[in-house]
Structure 1
Amino acid sequence: MTTSFRRTATSFVFLIPFALFLSVGGSAVDAQDSKSIDFARQVQPILAKRCYACHGPDKAEGGLKFVDQESAYAETESGDFAIVPGDVEASALIARITSDDEYEKMPPEGDPVSLEEIETLKVWIAEGADWSDHWAFEPMKDPTPPVVADLDWNENPIDAFIYDSLADVGLSPSPQATRQELIRRAYYDLTGLPPSFSRVQAFVADEDPLAFERLVDELLDSPQYGVRWGRHWLDLVRYAETNSFERDNPKQNAWKYRDYVIDAFNKDKPYDQFVREQLAGDELDNVTQESLTATGYYRLGIWDDEPADPLQARFDEIDDIITTTGQAFLGLTINCARCHDHKIDPIPQADYYSMVAFLADVTSFATRGDGSTNNQIDITPPAIAAEHQRIDDEVKRIESEMHDIEQAGIAKMKGPDQRATEGKPRARKKVLDAKLQQFLDADQWTAYQRLVHELADTRMLRKALPKRETVMGLARCEAKPEQTFVLFRGNPHSPSDPVEPDFPTIFGSETPTFPELDEAAKTAGRRRVLAEWMTDPDNRLSARVMANRLWQFHFGRGIVRSSNNFGQLGTPPTHPVLLDWLARRLIDGDWKLKSMHRLIMSSRAYQMSSASHEKGESVDPDNNRFWRFDPRRLAAEEVRDSILAANGSLNLSIGGPSFYPQLSAEVLAGQSRPGEGWGDSPDDQRNRRSAYIHVKRSLLTPLLTAFDFPDPDLTCEERFTTLQPGQALSLLNSDFIHQQGARLAESIGASDLTDASDNPEIVRRTISAVLQRQATEDEEQSGDELIVALQNEYGLSRTRAVQLYCLSVMNWNEFLFVD
């Protein structure tokens, strides 16, 4: 049996399968797949999932904890031993999880331990119950790739690892994908866009063995690469351009951070530098406009401009940064230790607040009365900035002299007028305009009038200057931050023990040291130390996490599926040795990502067919061992961009302020203040790539959300991939799709094909534009029949019938899926 997402040509069913949801779940390779059990990868996750609620870091019911070897092997309060290495029968753990007695059976609540998990625990104990630290907390190894039986699969080390894993269970890799499948896969993976029909035809006809290699280089050199891969990063850092909460006010210049990210990917900025710039771009030896823009990372989160408890809101803001930093850069849920020691991972509460101390100089996004001082960095060129400063000083001088004269006159006025001038500026101006001259002598009034004209002229000079340029970032920091404390149960009103900046204890790193600060220091210098530790080649997680993300965005899921959680409740790696090998290659390649793309995409594993077969589905239904390539549905932006590309209206310009898609009145009415904060962009801007759509937290674009655009309030490790009715409705009934269907008909020259005999040509042109291939005879016949039926049976004009046919092809599975 083979699985294909190509749309059949004999019928036109407009609905995506109703209420079908794709799951990306999966587990590590079965315990029985190897001769010995790996504790960290196979046993520890079972203990954490099934036992920690009662026998974990916070509880030791019956005197038993499974958090470390000493506690797990110790005698319990009942005199039994939960684990007796080498003796399954004597191990109370096995007796309790297999018991039929409801008072003895463990766990007492929730799902029981599965038969597969029980067998894993039995084999582990029988083999001696070897205990090791969690795999992710161990130093990275530098493994040697295996040598496998198939010589072709030894050429790329990635393939050797994959083939070796498949051979363990008697599976063979799927054959290579067709060249048409490969070019479409490569285009979408690297640029998020479809290839043109002519580009597909040329590649299919190119018999040069290096053709695919050249194709990958071509796509990596395209500026559209940065748009696609930059969007992956924006998901991780919860990019948005507004603050959320009721007013959801805009974040000025947030789009410049987005452009920084896209540009960084296009320039192949080393990943370690990319990290350092975001975490400490204002503290580096060479501070640049780019590195300052990168600190916009700290300003992306939600911000409440009117909190009920300001101190609680401030620590919530910090927690948002800790959550994102820990998960995006380290794959650790450090945030789970905010109120207590981490329930699963060995992260004490003090470690959380030591991380808070690293970021103690980061000010709040803004204050209620000042929305820009903390977050807008002035990067105006020095000469222009100096001229602005000169004019600002001149304005202050003039206004000061005017104020002195005004006060001299006000002193002679009656009490009510004097009090009015002490209130709002508008009330003061009203009194001065009406009465000031009456209370000044001639010389004072002449001097005052001269200053009024001088002020107007000076302001005109200011208007003539180029505007100051600013970027969103860390504009103001606390160079000498206050002491950080552990907060009792996470309550900011209940500080307890003081803590200093320090790295999580699981890394075993030396206590950090910090540079001496001079009086002119604008930051505490701590974040640079944190950034350098994170990007140290010896860091156990940074390279692993990024290597896993690269694999995830090429293969549809990571070697560690839970790519934001490498901890003990995360999904264990299916190929841990391969992951370490990839992480080492990333470091050895100077942290450059484009060379990693070339390495991965040149592998036979990446170039495999997505076709399924019975043995693979039986032995490895979740495709944990990568015996085939997993097909995927297009991401939200890819759907919209592909529609625009098909009709030739896609604007591929790079960078600049975001644009506002046209939204219906019904959608805008969902805001607390309908339409507020939503602009009106010209048509050419509305046809830009979807990565440039304005991301307003309270008003996400409906087409994108229908196709699982992530919630920008939280870091997103992997988007949901659903098939649900809202998608079909968006691609059938929305104003947008009907407009684009009409444009598609226009772009293929349908207005010149006015006779029924032209229908096959309309079909051929539409399919080549939308699917980048030639139409089959069956598709020509079915398309002809549909156009005729829409005219004769439903009374539609020929123009409208052709438009609906064009729309229908953009609903085919072949359009929406990549094999």
Structure 2
Amino acid sequence: MLPNKKLLFTVGFTLIVIAVIAFSIFNTEEQIDFNSQVKPILNKKCISCHGGVKQQGGFSVLFREEAVAKTQSGKPAIIPGNAADSEFIKRLKSNDPEERMPYKHPALEQQEINILSDWINQGAKWGKHWAYVSLVPTPIPQIEDNWIRNDLDKFILVKLKENKLQHAEDADRATLLRRVSLDLIGTYPSEKLSNRYLSSKNEQQAYELLVDSLLASPKFGERWASMWLDIARYADTKGYESDPNRNIWSYRDWLIKAFNADMPYNKFITDQIAGDLFSNPTDAQYVATSFSRNTPTNDEGGTNNEEFRTSAVLDRVNATWEGLMSTTFSCVQCHSHPYDPFKHEEYYKFMSYFNNTRDEDVPAEYPLFKIFNDSLKNELNNLESWVSAIAGNERAKKVSLFLKTGQPSINSTTADQLINSVIGNNNIALFFKNKSSARLKSVNMEAVNHIILRYNCTKSNGTLSLHSGGPNGPMITSWKVNQTKGNETVEKDIVLQNGTKDVYLKYTNPSVKDPNEFMLYFDWFYFTKQFPGKGRA
């Protein structure tokens, strides 16, 4: 007789259910947590030789893909799900001092080896860094006490009780006054404010009024801006060996105003990181971007422009991550981070966002942003309105930007192919002798018919000419150069140009007899269109 199919199905299904239940009951192995149990062992015992700086044997425990990858032996050291065959565990257990790891260091405790073995057997799962795990709501402790004033106090009280500690008694009025004042404005309160608070009969109302008064004080912004100034590496000097003065106080004042105005954090950050990239940036947004200009500069003789430009970019990257992300990203500049989940190459991917700046190693620290008084601001606004009316809004913006920043100009210290000329005096300027020449490389000359330049000349009767393509190439313009009283800004019309070309400066002065005498010093050059309204009354 054939067995009943329905009966067979029922019996089979029952056996499967029993097997699953049995497995759940008897499989009570504790799940290993990577962050709290495994990573501390790896960081303490393994990572110095198998991590960011070193990867001996081609083995690294910084990231899972590296830990389970093939080593120099051609085989992986960690085989997920198989601790017994994993060379990593074999080396930890080895009795051979030349084979056992950590090499020439104390062996791991058996408990540590057990944790690592269990972790591998469970799949060698990597945990997400705690700082990047999304927060989840935490139940508020159910505890009652007359000391409790809000839900935070409940968490504190629970921990105090767990550690058999007693909370402090409420501070008296004078102590509370001192504490809240130092916290909010960094100094003691005024006598008037103190007397009003201490003499009030309604303590709660008086305290609220006290806090509101301190928050409304200009000193509040000064107190809290000082903390951000540290994050932003602010200094009134440039750093390095001579540490000369730096004129960047307007950024400090912008911060103070931002805190006192309770500026939203997203605007506070965006204006500092990219304030100049808005379609119509305000003067305040330009000043805010000084966050990225607080890097030290070194104009000592013999320094290299590109070296210190790169140094400034690296400093900018590190400050951005430390200030905005609370991450010591500078570690990743040289190797993958030993604790945070960042790889070495990711540092330079992020650096590429900033790696388009000038940061020339010059004393003037160009580009600069001029701060005008109210009278000059009105004149500038009137000029911008006038230019906009006769030449359009875009042209007005360019004229305004040049008057405020002197940009986009070419720094003379970027010149090359120097003949009888030098970049001298601690990289401050381009210096010409008699019969000198130099090249300004790849100048945008599209629709250019005007040049503005700043120079200082100590001798009269010289001739300066500009040539295209070479010192003896087609002449763009020339003029007589006489002695100046210090630096002077000179404007010259030139024949309409187009395209991008190398521009050569050439200077001669037949009245000069000493061939080693320097007499012409260039600061910057600005190639542009003629300013609107030329020849109009």
TM-score by length of 1: 0.37
Say whether 1:325 aligns with 2:320.
yes
Offset, 1:279: 0.6
If asked which structure has higher relative contact order (CA below 8 Å, sep 6+), I would say: 1
Contact 1:41 1:135 in 2 (8 A): no
Say whether 1:39 aligns with 2:26.
no
The equivalent residue for 2:448 is: none
Offset, 1:242: 1.6
Offset, 1:324: 0.7
Partner SS, residue 376 of structure 1 = coil
CA–CA distance in 2 between the matches of 1:94 and 1:159? 47
The equivalent residue for 1:381 is: 377
Alignment length (residue pairs): 366
The equivalent residue for 2:259 is: 265
- Picking from 160, 168, 175, the partner of 2:168 is 175
Offset, 1:321: 0.8
- Picking from 238, 256, 270, the partner of 2:250 is 256
- After superposition, the C-alpha distances for 1:285-326 in whole angstroms (9 at most, x for unaligned) are 552222111011122110111453322121111111111111
Partner SS, residue 133 of structure 1 = coil
Partner SS, residue 35 of structure 2 = helix
CA–CA distance in 2 between the matches of 1:127 and 1:160? 41
CA–CA distance in 2 between the matches of 1:117 and 1:215? 57
The equivalent residue for 1:426 is: 458
- How does 1:494-513 map onto structure 2 within 5 Å? none
Contact 2:233 2:295 in 1 (8 A): yes
- After superposition, the C-alpha distances for 1:224-263 in whole angstroms (9 at most, x for unaligned) are 11111111101111110121233323222x1110111111
Say whether 1:300 aligns with 2:291.
no
The equivalent residue for 1:217 is: 212
- How does 1:108-119 map onto structure 2 within 5 Å? 108=103, 118=112
The equivalent residue for 1:465 is: none
CA–CA distance in 1 between the matches of 2:198 and 2:113? 50
CA–CA distance in 2 between the matches of 1:170 and 1:36? 28
Contact 1:145 1:161 in 2 (8 A): no
- After superposition, the C-alpha distances for 1:553-611 in whole angstroms (9 at most, x for unaligned) are xxxxxxxxxxxxxxxxxxxxxxxxxxxxxxxxxxxxxxxxxxxxxxxxxxxxxxxxxxx
CA–CA distance in 2 between the matches of 1:212 and 1:235? 31
Contact 2:140 2:155 in 1 (8 A): yes
Offset, 1:153: 7.7
CA–CA distance in 2 between the matches of 1:166 and 1:159? 10
Partner SS, residue 182 of structure 2 = helix
- After superposition, the C-alpha distances for 1:130-170 in whole angstroms (9 at most, x for unaligned) are 631112233x3342442332366875343344445555x44
Say what the alpha-carbon RMSD is for the aligned residues. 5.0
- After superposition, the C-alpha distances for 1:637-686 in whole angstroms (9 at most, x for unaligned) are xxxxxxxxxxxxxxxxxxxxxxxxxxxxxxxxxxxxxxxxxxxxxxxxxx
Contact 1:98 1:105 in 2 (8 A): yes
- How does 1:137-152 map onto structure 2 within 5 Å? 137-138=132-133, 140-150=134-144
Say whether 1:184 aligns with 2:216.
no
Structure 1 residues 247, 62: CA separation in 2 closer, same or farther (over 3 Å shift)?
closer
Residue segments in structure 2 that go unaligned for 5+ positions in a row: 1-29, 388-433, 438-454, 463-483, 489-499, 501-527, 530-537
Contact 2:52 2:335 in 1 (8 A): no
Which deviates more from structure 2 when the two are superposed, residues 173-182 or residues 201-210?
A: 201-210
Structure 1 residues 78, 316: CA separation in 2 closer, same or farther (over 3 Å shift)?
closer
CA–CA distance in 1 between the matches of 2:316 and 2:56? 35
CA–CA distance in 1 between the matches of 2:114 and 2:249? 50
Give the strand-richer structure, 1 or 2.
Answer: 2
The equivalent residue for 1:356 is: 351
Structure 1 residues 343, 199: CA separation in 2 closer, same or farther (over 3 Å shift)?
same
CA–CA distance in 2 between the matches of 1:202 and 1:101? 78
- Picking from 49, 54, 59, the partner of 2:49 is 54
Contact 2:70 2:76 in 1 (8 A): yes
Q: What amino acid maps onto 2:312 in structure 1?
A: E
Say whether 1:229 aligns with 2:238.
no
Give the helix-richer structure, 1 or 2.
Answer: 1
The equivalent residue for 2:311 is: 316
- After superposition, the C-alpha distances for 1:267-292 in whole angstroms (9 at most, x for unaligned) are 11111111101011111255222211
CA–CA distance in 2 between the matches of 1:199 and 1:113? 65
Contact 1:256 1:293 in 2 (8 A): yes
- How does 1:308-707 map onto structure 2 within 5 Å? 308-342=303-337, 344-364=339-359, 366=360, 368=362, 371=364, 373-377=366-370, 380-384=376-380, 425-428=457-460
Structure 1 residues 70, 296: CA separation in 2 closer, same or farther (over 3 Å shift)?
closer
Contact 1:54 1:61 in 2 (8 A): yes
Partner SS, residue 315 of structure 2 = helix
CA–CA distance in 1 between the matches of 2:257 and 2:322? 23
Structure 1 residues 310, 99: CA separation in 2 closer, same or farther (over 3 Å shift)?
same
CA–CA distance in 1 between the matches of 2:111 and 2:210? 45
Structure 1 residues 73, 150: CA separation in 2 closer, same or farther (over 3 Å shift)?
farther
Structure 1 residues 207, 342: CA separation in 2 closer, same or farther (over 3 Å shift)?
same
Offset, 1:374: 0.8
Q: What amino acid maps onto 1:278 in structure 2?
A: Q
Contact 1:301 1:317 in 2 (8 A): yes
Q: What amino acid maps onto 1:284 in structure 2?
A: F
Structure 1 residues 257, 427: CA separation in 2 closer, same or farther (over 3 Å shift)?
same
The equivalent residue for 2:12 is: none
Q: What amino acid maps onto 1:188 in structure 2?
A: L
Offset, 1:74: 7.9
CA–CA distance in 1 between the matches of 2:337 and 2:270? 27
The equivalent residue for 2:449 is: none
Structure 1 residues 71, 288: CA separation in 2 closer, same or farther (over 3 Å shift)?
closer
Offset, 1:199: 5.5
Contact 1:62 1:78 in 2 (8 A): no
TM-score by length of 2: 0.55
Structure 1 residues 132, 424: CA separation in 2 closer, same or farther (over 3 Å shift)?
closer
Identity %, equivalent residues: 30
Offset, 1:383: 2.1
Residue segments in structure 1 that go unaligned for 5+ positions in a row: 1-34, 391-418, 431-454, 460-479, 481-518, 521-819
Which deviates more from structure 2 when the two are superposed, residues 201-210 or residues 261-270?
A: 201-210
CA–CA distance in 2 between the matches of 1:36 and 1:204? 58
Structure 1 residues 86, 338: CA separation in 2 closer, same or farther (over 3 Å shift)?
closer
- After superposition, the C-alpha distances for 1:517-569 in whole angstroms (9 at most, x for unaligned) are xx99xxxxxxxxxxxxxxxxxxxxxxxxxxxxxxxxxxxxxxxxxxxxxxxxx
- After superposition, the C-alpha distances for 1:740-779 in whole angstroms (9 at most, x for unaligned) are xxxxxxxxxxxxxxxxxxxxxxxxxxxxxxxxxxxxxxxx
Offset, 1:61: 4.0
Offset, 1:125: 4.9
CA–CA distance in 2 between the matches of 1:113 and 1:193? 55
Q: What amino acid maps onto 2:171 in structure 1?
A: T
Structure 1 residues 374, 315: CA separation in 2 closer, same or farther (over 3 Å shift)?
same
Structure 1 residues 237, 424: CA separation in 2 closer, same or farther (over 3 Å shift)?
closer
Q: What amino acid maps onto 2:244 in structure 1?
A: N
Which deviates more from structure 2 when the two are superposed, residues 175-184 or residues 315-324?
A: 175-184
Contact 2:38 2:115 in 1 (8 A): yes
- How does 1:114-133 map onto structure 2 within 5 Å? 118=112, 125=119, 131-133=126-128
Q: What amino acid maps onto 1:271 in structure 2?
A: Y
Contact 1:244 1:303 in 2 (8 A): yes
CA–CA distance in 2 between the matches of 1:201 and 1:272? 38
Offset, 1:193: 0.9
Contact 2:336 2:343 in 1 (8 A): yes
Offset, 1:96: 7.2
CA–CA distance in 2 between the matches of 1:175 and 1:322? 43
